[in-house]
Structure 1
Amino acid sequence: MKYRSLGKSGIQISEVGFGCMSLAPELGPATALLHRALDHGITYFDTADLYQHGENEAVVGKALKGQRSHIVLATKVGNQWRPDGSGWDWNPTKAYILAAVEQSLRRLQTDYLDLYQLHGGTLDDPIDEIIEAFEQLVQQGKIRGYGISSIRPNVIREYARRSHIISVMMQYSLLDRRPEESCLGLLQEHQISVLARGTLAQGLLVTKPAAPYLQHSAETVARASAAVQRLADTTISPVEIAAQYVLAQPAVTAAVLGIRMPEQLTDALRIANSRELTAAELAELQAAAPATAYEQHR
């Protein structure tokens, strides 16, 4: 397992992270998966207060109790469940962030978070107020650092310019190269880590039949998948190739993979121990899936 620094924070995280959103609610299976991941070097675990009405945080907290000094624990805030459970509303106010963190800390059975992330965001948000909330939590020792989860370039630019965020979680894969146009260079320049999600493009790069995806036709998706398959051999699998494409980008600190089944964890651990792609391999993959640009929120 390789480890990389999370922004300028000095926090070291595994370059393959465990996305906890899809974890089964049963404590036994979830604990087994989380402990196996930790035993094999995965240290970054990512959840959110939105997932399963907070129950995902509670399961992670119970499963990793006693392991706090060995893990990097991240969660997210901003989506507030309605009292009747019918859905959630966006609430990025300072008051809500300061109240929500207490509930997350309780569910996760810890007195601090390594990373607290705004779970979305728009230019209409009270950005200065949001930053004040996160900075207050840093000063209080309740969080070690903060970031945002966003694919909106205009929002990312504002936080890079106005705050001390240490990370941006965003969707990025061979089939979603939009961050290459406007985000990766900017974030690398500011020493802000990219936490990449969706690296397998919903499985279209490795196992699922070709279908239209974002701005790509099914034919383009098929070409990209074929390129991934073509580069695979006895030393590296299609899953590893898809993830290593993302990890090859200097701005990317970790690929955060959603893990629910033991087989998915096995794939994640293979990625962690696989070789890097060569320049020629990266060029071949890029030729198969043309870069695209964000059409909104530029």
Structure 2
Amino acid sequence: MKYKQLGKSDLSISEVSFGCMSLQGDENESIKLLHQALDKGITYFDTADLYDKGKNEETVGRAFKGMRDKVIIGTKVGNQWRPDGSGWDWNPSKTYILQAVEQSLKRLQTDYIDLYQLHGGTIDDPIDETIEAFEQLKQQGKIRHYGISSIRPNVIQEYVRRSNIASVMLQYSLLDRRAEEKVLELLQQNNIGVLARGSLAQGLLAGKPAKSYLNYTLEEVQQAAKAVTEVAGASRKASETAVRFTLHHPAVTSAVMGIRTKQQLEEALHAASAEPLDQAEVRQLEEVLPANKYEQHR
């Protein structure tokens, strides 16, 4: 497993990391899977208070109790469950963040969170107030670093300009290259790490039946999947090639893979150990389809 520094933070994380959102069912099985991932070299585990109404954080907390120094834990805040459980509302206020972190710390059974991320964000948010909350938590030692999880260029630009974020989590794959237009270069220039999710584009780049995806037609998705298979050749699987495409960009620190089963864990580990793409292979994939761009939130 290769490890990279997350932006300008002091967090060194695995190049392929564990997205915990998909964990469900038997908790003991989930904990076993988390332990297997750690044993195989995955060190970054990403969850959120929103997932399964906090139970996801509880599972991660139980899994790593007594081995806290061996893992880097990221969680997220900003989506507040309604009292009746019917859904959630967006709340990036300082008051709510300072309150929510206490619950996350309790569920995770830890004194600190390595990476606390705003779980979304709009240009109309009280951004300075949100940043104040994160900076206060950092000063108090309750979080080590903070970041945002957002695909909105206008929001990302504001946080780059106004805050000390360590990272941005965003969607990036051969079928979602929107971040290439402005965002990835901006983050790289400012030494802000990128946690990339969606490398397999819902499995469409790893053998699942084709369907339209974002602005790409079914036929275009088929073309992309075919190109991934061709580049994979005999030396890599399609899934490994898709993940290596995500990791080829120098702005990307880690590919966050949604893992629920042992097979998915094995696929993630194979992708981590697969040969990186060379420039010719990257170019071959990039030339299959024109890169899509963000139409909103610019």
TM-score (norm 2): 0.99
Q: How do 1:101-140 residues align onto structure 2 when only pairs under 5 Å count?
A: 101-140=101-140
Give the aligned partner of residue 216 of structure 1. 216
Matched residue type, 1:73? I
Distance 1:10 1:57 in 2: 23
Q: Is the 8 A contact 1:25 1:56 kept in 2?
A: no
Distance 1:139 1:160 in 2: 20
The offset of 1:25, in angstroms, is: 4.0
Q: Deviations over 1:67-118 (max 9, x none)?
A: 2100000000000000000000001000000000000000000000000000
Give the aligned partner of residue 253 of structure 2. 253
Matched residue type, 2:157? R
Give the aligned partner of residue 292 of structure 1. 292
Distance 1:189 1:284 in 2: 26
Give the aligned partner of residue 68 of structure 2. 68
Give the aligned partner of residue 159 of structure 2. 159
1:149 aligned to 2:149?
yes
Matched residue type, 2:158? E
Distance 1:27 1:292 in 2: 39
3-state SS of 1:201 partner: coil
Q: Is the 8 A contact 1:25 1:55 kept in 2?
A: no
Distance 2:151 2:55 in 1: 26
Matched residue type, 1:165? I
Distance 2:234 2:112 in 1: 43
The offset of 1:60, in angstroms, is: 0.8
Give the aligned partner of residue 204 of structure 2. 204
Unaligned runs of 5+ in 1: none
C-alpha RMSD over aligned residues: 0.7
Q: Is the 8 A contact 1:15 1:255 kept in 2?
A: yes
Give the aligned partner of residue 171 of structure 1. 171
The offset of 1:64, in angstroms, is: 1.4
Q: How do 1:254-273 residues align onto structure 2 when only pairs under 5 Å count?
A: 254-273=254-273
Give the aligned partner of residue 100 of structure 2. 100
Greater Cα shift, 24-33 or 47-56: 24-33
Q: Deviations over 1:178-217 (max 9, x none)?
A: 0000100000000001100001000111111211110111
Matched residue type, 1:225? A
Q: Deviations over 1:238-273 (max 9, x none)?
A: 111000001010000000000001100000000111
Which 4+ runs in 1 deviate beyond 3 A?
A: none
The offset of 1:289, in angstroms, is: 2.5
Q: How do 1:34-73 residues align onto structure 2 when only pairs under 5 Å count?
A: 34-73=34-73
Distance 1:275 1:113 in 2: 32
Matched residue type, 2:152? R
Q: Deviations over 1:201-239 (max 9, x none)?
A: 001111112111101111111110000111223321111
Give the aligned partner of residue 244 of structure 2. 244
Q: Is the 8 A contact 1:27 1:63 kept in 2?
A: no
Distance 2:164 2:73 in 1: 19
Across the two proteins, how many residue pairs are aligned to each other?
A: 298
Greater Cα shift, 21-30 or 2-11: 21-30
Distance 2:213 2:290 in 1: 13
Q: How do 1:7-22 residues align onto structure 2 when only pairs under 5 Å count?
A: 7-22=7-22
The sequence identity of aligned pairs, in percent, is 64
